[in-house]
């Protein structure tokens, strides 16, 4: 045991991991990202996952998001990601979230270190590369986006395995690559996963250009990626079905082109704080004028790593692999990131490349450029500490700094920018930048002259990047208990017969098993939820059509930031709420505090009802008008195109005498339609009196309906089975068994070689 501990402490990977652990130590004592997507999306969804895991199941469907939602298909839940089964089954949701964040950052640093070493970068250089990539600008603005730092941790690990297989051709390299890529896919979102697959294949093609005999191994990389996709088929199939159902497989060009990186912001490499503290915050009008927001545009790797990267690029051919590959890849990814702002037609051509039109926010490609710069920094430190050519790089880096300073001042002091980007904020940023560059240059020069060891540069890098990381767009603070620390939410949790909750809460009610009326998810929720999205604002919810829609779709409570006047509303709590002030989204210019109200809606339509009359609308506007103002529960509305072959309802009396969420008993004296306020979605079917299962129908813009013929008392049983579940499960199971078998075979061969 002592020998193992000694080996760990002596490992060259220990310093960057130790520094990363120190920077993130707050996560272990209860400090976490507060507000934003962590509180309004990720932790609520994980709370629903945790409830399902505690019951020994996966949440293929949840009743706690709007009118119902296929939660497994919402890949942000990462329901098939094995670490989540442990973390969210045995820990509280806040503790599991923080520990998961801590461990994935350590994995990111360790994987980047291993990949840098595979590229023959020295131990300390690899440590600088790993630490600077782990806490670069991309990581700082996306520290509130769980899926990014989870998925990104596997990117350098996949590249490491690809390089290992290309160099040695061992079968276990392919098996491990397939398993690791499957793990990355099961994290969800899939944008970083698409980069990973592309970079793995490009690595193989790049190596093939210098060594044609590797053609078989390049095809092996492709096979491993396909194999990994097969292992993750159960997640991919469900998510692809949801994406197609809500139209995310055919996004508009305007949606794809937004969130690019403003070309003028390249000076952020030189001055990371230059565009922080802009009046109005990360969503100020300045950001939108640049085609992005401060939550999506950030590009720096730290002052010391940047200077070292320039040194690494100027130090000649040097030793090690991947140098030219990463120069080309970094440049290409930077061009893609700025292209929507720089040349819109050029970006239009880019999105015609297969796969490039599936994901928005091209500015995120800067993660790849950042990795390339960090690897170059590692090579630069090798050169600086090993007697290589350092001074040309130092001179060139200061020339870069001079040009960047001139450009930054020119941009910030433009007449249309001076009031936003200038003033004391600009002076402070330039002062901090100048100090950072002077200190960084002194430390690098001292390293070159052997006055200090390269470990000092590593520590200084951690200090700067840590300061930048915690002062970025993510709000950090002590964990907030929901609903306990919110007077409004605590009162809501005490209410009985809570249906759906309208208002500004996004997914916060999920934390205590209540149901937000409009799901805040990565995918657009299916209809009729887009109607309910408009009613998150108090002004819209207070209109006659807004009140009608809320009642029709089962909204029993609302949480609002001001008075709501309506005879059909009862106010049950009024007062300040510091927790909601902090967690709820506020548009730029909104007051920081509100007098919050919890209200109860009266005369809400039931979850299930028997309709005796049908009305048909020629188009969606007419249908919306009908369901907004006609609140007769005995009437069901259809779009004309949804007219079925079944006869129209004609009963004079019909009522639901029992309902348990999956089974309804209906008494009726003639044909009627059973309407369930639940999202119409593929996989839902119903049987009447244990008859054959038939797909449910679609009514009222997206809820379920079943026609009951004749008269009498009938029992209707509903069931949900994802349409992709069984074929995808067989594919995943077969691919996983094959992978486990491959690992077993490789292990036996390894043992046999050792014995011989």
167-211 pLDDT per residue, tens: 998 888 999 999 999 999 999 999 999 999 999 999 999 998 888
Helices (H), 650-717: none
Beta strands across the sheet bearing 703-708: 608-611, 672-679, 703-708, 697-699
Give the containing element (helix H, strand E) for 468.
helix 454-469
Kindly state the average pLDDT of the residues 731-749: 89
Lowest average pLDDT, out of 310-324, 406-420, 512-526, 594-608, goes to: 310-324
379 pLDDT above the threshold of 60 = yes
Q: What is the pLDDT of residue 755?
A: 61
320 pLDDT above the threshold of 90 = no
Token couple for 428: 């402070």
Which residues lie closer than 8 Å to 328 by C-beta, 6 or more apart? Answer: none
**pLDDT tens string 139-164:** 999 999 999 999 999 999 999 999 99
Q: What is the pLDDT of residue 2?
A: 55
Which residues lie closer than 8 Å to 556 by C-beta, 6 or more apart? Answer: 497, 498, 499, 500, 501, 600, 601, 604
617 pLDDT above the threshold of 80 = yes
Q: CA-to-CA distance for 459 and 482, rounded, in angstroms?
A: 37
318 pLDDT above the threshold of 60 = no
Give the containing element (helix H, strand E) for 715.
strand 712-720
386 pLDDT above the threshold of 90 = no
With tokens 């500490």, the residue in question is 385
Burial (CB count <10 Å: 0-12, 13-18, 19+), residue 754: exposed
Contact between 273 and 433 under an 8 Å Cβ cutoff? The reply is yes
CA 387 to chain centre: 43
Q: CA-to-CA distance for 607 and 554, rounded, in angstroms?
A: 6
Q: CA-to-CA distance for 580 and 562, rounded, in angstroms?
A: 13
Q: What is the pLDDT of residue 6?
A: 57
Q: CA-to-CA distance for 120 and 321, rounded, in angstroms?
A: 7
Contact between 146 and 38 under an 8 Å Cβ cutoff? The reply is yes
Closest CA to 364 of 471, 240, 258: 258
**pLDDT tens string 342-352:** 999 999 999 89
Closest CA to 717 of 644, 665, 655: 665
Which residues lie closer than 8 Å to 696 by C-beta, 6 or more apart? Answer: 676, 680, 684, 685, 686, 704, 705, 706, 718
Q: What is the pLDDT of residue 542?
A: 87
Q: CA-to-CA distance for 291 and 260, rounded, in angstroms?
A: 6
Give the containing element (helix H, strand E) for 656.
strand 654-659
Lowest average pLDDT, out of 388-392, 478-482, 551-555, 661-665, goes to: 388-392
Residue 705: phi and psi, rounded to 5, are -145, 145
**pLDDT tens string 618-637:** 999 999 999 999 989 999 99
Q: CA-to-CA distance for 562 and 590, rounded, in angstroms?
A: 13
Q: CA-to-CA distance for 385 and 200, rounded, in angstroms?
A: 31
**pLDDT tens string 74-99:** 999 999 999 999 999 999 999 999 99
Q: What is the pLDDT of residue 654?
A: 95
Closest CA to 534 of 699, 697, 701, 296: 701
729 pLDDT above the threshold of 70 = yes
Give the containing element (helix H, strand E) for 699.
strand 697-699
The b-or-e profile of 423-434 (16+ CB within 10 A means b, else e) is: eebbeebbebbe
389 pLDDT above the threshold of 90 = no
With tokens 């997640």, the residue in question is 235
Band of pLDDT at residue 642, cut at 50, 70 and 90: confident
Share of the chain above pLDDT 90, in %: 79
218 pLDDT above the threshold of 50 = yes
754 pLDDT above the threshold of 70 = no
Contact between 550 and 601 under an 8 Å Cβ cutoff? The reply is yes
Which residues lie closer than 8 Å to 365 by C-beta, 6 or more apart? Answer: 195, 333, 334, 336, 337
**pLDDT tens string 10-21:** 788 899 999 999
Q: What is the pLDDT of residue 5?
A: 54
Contact between 369 and 117 under an 8 Å Cβ cutoff? The reply is no
8 pLDDT above the threshold of 80 = no
**pLDDT tens string 229-270:** 999 999 999 999 999 999 888 888 888 899 999 999 999 999
Lowest average pLDDT, out of 317-331, 618-632, 648-662, 688-702, goes to: 317-331
Burial (CB count <10 Å: 0-12, 13-18, 19+), residue 545: middle
Kindly state the average pLDDT of the residues 476-497: 95
Q: What is the pLDDT of residue 745?
A: 84
Token couple for 529: 């939820």
**pLDDT tens string 563-576:** 887 778 899 999 99
Which residues lie closer than 8 Å to 549 by C-beta, 6 or more apart? Answer: 531, 532, 535, 627, 628
Q: CA-to-CA distance for 86 and 53, rounded, in angstroms?
A: 9
Band of pLDDT at residue 7, cut at 50, 70 and 90: low
**pLDDT tens string 675-717:** 999 999 999 999 999 999 999 999 999 999 999 999 999 999 9
Token couple for 107: 């994995």
Q: What is the pLDDT of residue 266?
A: 96
Give the containing element (helix H, strand E) for 550.
helix 544-552
Average pLDDT, whole number, for the chain? 92
Q: What is the pLDDT of residue 212?
A: 82
Q: CA-to-CA distance for 569 and 273, rounded, in angstroms?
A: 48
Share of the chain above pLDDT 70, in %: 97
Q: CA-to-CA distance for 162 and 202, rounded, in angstroms?
A: 10
746 pLDDT above the threshold of 80 = no
646 pLDDT above the threshold of 90 = no
């Amino acid at each position: 045991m002592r020998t193992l501990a000694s080996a760990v402490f002596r490992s060259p990977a220990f310093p960057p991991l130790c520094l990363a652990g120190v920077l993130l130590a707050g996560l272990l004592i209860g400090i976490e990202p507060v507000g934003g997507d962590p509180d309004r999306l990720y932790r609520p969804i994980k709370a629903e996952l945790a409830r399902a895991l505690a019951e020994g199941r996966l949440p293929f469907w949840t009743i706690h998001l709007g009118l119902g939602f296929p939660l497994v298909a919402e890949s942000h839940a990462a329901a098939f990601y094995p670490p989540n089964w442990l973390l969210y089954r045995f820990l509280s949701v806040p503790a599991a979230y923080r520990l998961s964040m801590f461990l994935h950052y350590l994995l990111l640093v360790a994987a980047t270190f291993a990949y840098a070493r595979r590229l023959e970068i020295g131990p300390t250089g690899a440590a600088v590369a790993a630490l600077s990539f782990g806490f670069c600008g991309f990581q700082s603005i996306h520290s509130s986006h769980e899926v990014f730092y989870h998925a990104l941790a596997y990117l350098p690990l996949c590249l490491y395995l690809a390089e290992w297989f290309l160099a040695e051709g061992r079968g276990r390299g392919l098996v491990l690559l397939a398993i690791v890529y499957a793990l990355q896919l099961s994290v969800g979102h899939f944008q970083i996963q698409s980069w990973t697959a592309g970079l793995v294949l490009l690595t193989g093609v790049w190596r093939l250009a210098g060594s044609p005999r590797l053609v078989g191994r390049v095809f092996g990389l492709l096979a491993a990626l396909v194999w990994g996709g097969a292992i993750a088929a159960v997640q991919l199939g469900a998510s692809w079905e949801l994406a197609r159902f809500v139209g995310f497989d055919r996004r508009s060009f305007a949606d794809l082109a937004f969130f690019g990186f403003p070309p003028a912001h390249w000076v952020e490499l030189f001055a990371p704080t230059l565009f922080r503290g802009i009046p109005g915050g990360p969503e100020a009008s300045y950001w939108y004028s640049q085609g992005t927001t401060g939550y999506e545009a950030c590009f720096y790797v730290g002052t010391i790593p940047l200077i070292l990267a320039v040194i690494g690029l100027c130090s000649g051919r040097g030793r090690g692999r991947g140098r030219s590959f990463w120069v080309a890849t970094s440049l290409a990814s930077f061009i893609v990131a700025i292209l929507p702002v720089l040349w819109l037609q050029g970006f239009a051509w880019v999105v015609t490349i297969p796969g490039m039109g599936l994901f928005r926010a091209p500015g995120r490609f800067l993660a790849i450029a950042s990795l390339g710069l960090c690897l170059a920094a590692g090579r630069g430190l090798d050169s600086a500490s090993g007697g290589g050519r350092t001074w040309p790089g130092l001179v060139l880096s200061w020339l870069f700094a001079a040009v960047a300073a001139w450009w930054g001042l020119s941009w910030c002091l433009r007449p249309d920018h001076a009031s936003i980007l200038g003033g004391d904020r600009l002076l402070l940023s330039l002062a901090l930048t100048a100090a950072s560059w002077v200190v960084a240059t002194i430390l690098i020069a001292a390293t070159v002259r052997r006055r200090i060891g390269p470990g000092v540069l590593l520590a200084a890098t951690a200090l700067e990047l840590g300061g930048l990381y915690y002062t970025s767009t993510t709000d950090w603070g002590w964990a907030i208990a929901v609903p306990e620390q919110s007077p409004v939410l605590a009162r809501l949790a005490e209410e009985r017969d809570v249906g759906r909750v309208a208002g500004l809460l996004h997914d916060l009610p999920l934390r205590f098993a209540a149901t937000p009326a409009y799901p805040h998810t990565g995918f657009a929720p299916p209809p009729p939820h887009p109607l309910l999205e408009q009613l998150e604002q108090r002004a819209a919810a207070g209109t006659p059509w807004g009140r009608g829609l809320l009642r029709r779709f089962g909204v029993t409570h609302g949480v609002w930031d001001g008075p709501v006047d309506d005879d059909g509303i009862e106010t049950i709590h009024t007062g300040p709420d510091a927790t909601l002030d902090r967690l709820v989204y506020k548009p730029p210019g909104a007051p920081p505090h509100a007098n919050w109200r919890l209200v109860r809606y009266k005369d809400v339509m039931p979850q299930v009802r028997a309709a005796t009359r049908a009305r048909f609308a020629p188009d969606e506007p007419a249908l919306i008008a009908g369901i907004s103002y006609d609140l007769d529960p005995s009437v069901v509305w259809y779009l004309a195109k949804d007219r079925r072959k079944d006869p129209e309802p004609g009963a004079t009396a019909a009522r639901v005498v029992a309902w348990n969420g999956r089974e309804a008993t209906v008494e009726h004296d003639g044909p009627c339609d059973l309407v369930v306020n639940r999202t119409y979605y593929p996989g839902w079917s119903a049987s009447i009196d244990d008859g054959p299962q038939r797909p449910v129908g679609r009514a009222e813009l997206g809820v379920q309906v079943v026609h009951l013929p004749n008269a009498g008392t009938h029992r209707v049983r509903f069931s949900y089975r994802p349409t992709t579940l069984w074929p995808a499960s067989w594919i995943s199971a077969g691919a996983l068994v094959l992978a486990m078998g491959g690992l077993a075979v490789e292990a036996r061969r390894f043992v046999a070689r050792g014995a011989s």
